Homo-oligomer: A and B are copies of this chain.
Amino acid sequence: MNFASDNWAGAHPAITQALAENAPGFAAAYGLSDLDRKVEERFCEIFEREVAVFFVATGTAANALSMALVNRPGGVVFCHEHAHMVEDEGGAPEYLTGGARTHGVAGARGRIDGPALERAIAQFPAAFVHAGQPMAVSLTQATEIGTVYSLDAIAAIAGICRAHGIPLHMDGARFANALVALETTPAQMTWRSGVDIVSFGATKNGCWCAEAIVVMDPAKARDMPFLRKRAAHLFSKSRFIAAQFEGYFRDDLWLANARHANAMAAQLADILDRAAATRLAWQPQTNEVFALMGEQTAAALRERGIFFHPWAVPRDMTARAGEGLYRFVTSFATTREDLSALAAALG
- Chain A residues within 8 Å of B, Cβ to Cβ: 2, 4-5, 7-13, 15-16, 19-20, 22-30, 56-61, 64-65, 68, 72-76, 87-92, 94-96, 98-102, 127, 129-133, 203-204, 208-209, 223, 225-237, 239-240, 307, 333
Contacts and interface: CB of A to CB of B under 8 A. Distances in A.
B203 A132 contact: no
Contacts of A233: 57-58, 61, 232-233
A99 B88 contact: no
A11 B96 CA distance: 30
Contacts of A235: 57-58, 209
- 6 nearest CB pairs, A to B: A98-B98, A90-B229, A61-B232, A95-B99, A74-B226, A57-B57
B4 A26 contact: yes
A96 B58 contact: no
The secondary-structure label for the interface of chain A is loop
Contact of A23 (B13, B22, B129): B13
A65 B237 CA distance: 20
16 contacts: A7-B30, A7-B237, A10-B27, A11-B237, A16-B20, A19-B208, A58-B235, A74-B227, A89-B229, A90-B132, A90-B230, A91-B99, A94-B101, A98-B99, A129-B226, A231-B231
B10 A237 contact: yes
A232 B231 contact: yes
Contact of A90 (B95, B129, B236): B129
A81 to B, nearest CB: 12
B10 A230 contact: no
A5 B24 contact: no
B91 A73 contact: yes
Given A7-B237, A16-B20, A223-B72, A87 B129 contact: no
A192 to B, nearest CB: 29
Contact of A129 (B61, B204, B229): B229
Contacts of A90: 74, 129-132, 226, 229-230, 234
Nearest to A13: B23
Given A10-B27, A130-B89, A232-B233, A19 B16 contact: yes
A264 to B, nearest CB: 14
A24 B8 contact: no
